[in-house]
Amino acid sequence: MGKENYQSAIEKVRIPILVLDQKWHQIFLVHGKPEEIEEKEKALGELLAQQGKLNSDMKDLKKVKQQLMDGIVANMDETGASGSSDAKKADDSKRLIEEVNDKLAALEDQMLELPGQIKEVNEELMLMTMDYCYDSFRKNSKEIREIADWIKQVRHDLKVNVVKKQNREINMRQIYSYMNDIFGPRVVDVFDLENDDVEMNFHEEEKAKAAEGTDNK
């Protein structure tokens, strides 16, 4: 969706400068930032750097202006008159002050434009971030559903296989018991040795029961 769809909502909320918010960066810890978000982040960072430099330049120029004004005052005599050399210094200082004022005015013009530009780019980055987040929600929701279906199927298969396993074990015990009853433990022992590749976890237990049954007879 375009920015206009959210304009009324955005205007009612003070959006923080995203690139300065650590929580914003944490959104992309797992998959990283998409290229278009990195580009917008870079653009916003450049505007903030420009704003910081303008502020610094203005402070420096104001200091220079103050020094020049202090120099003019210091060179004036008690009556406010000045000598020729002092007058020249005062004229030079006034000229420099005018140049400083011009530079300050130019910087102030740039400073007036920057907040709006920063706000606009920050809002664009916010909308891109929201699109990224909701796209992640869609992908995660799809994977969650798929995993939930897989877990459900695994649970079903597990129950079925547990019953199968129990049935197979019962069947093996029954067959082994019948073999002992019909052929006797000694004959079965011979076949056990010939078929030692067959796994029977209950073998020793059934063998003991069969032997016990034979003794009782």
**The model's pTM:** 0.65
Q: Which of 64, 74, 68 is nearest to 91 (CA)?
A: 68
Gap between the Cα atoms of 135 and 174, Å rounded = 58
Gap between the Cα atoms of 83 and 85, Å rounded = 6
At residue 4, the pLDDT reads 60
Gap between the Cα atoms of 59 and 106, Å rounded = 14
DSSP secondary structure of 194-217: HTTTS--TTHHHHHHHHHHHHHH-
At residue 185, the pLDDT reads 83
Write down the domain spans for the chain: 3-144, 160-216
At residue 193, the pLDDT reads 82
Mean pLDDT by 10 residues, the chain (217 residues): 60 85 93 94 94 88 80 59 60 78 83 90 93 94 97 97 92 88 86 81 62 52
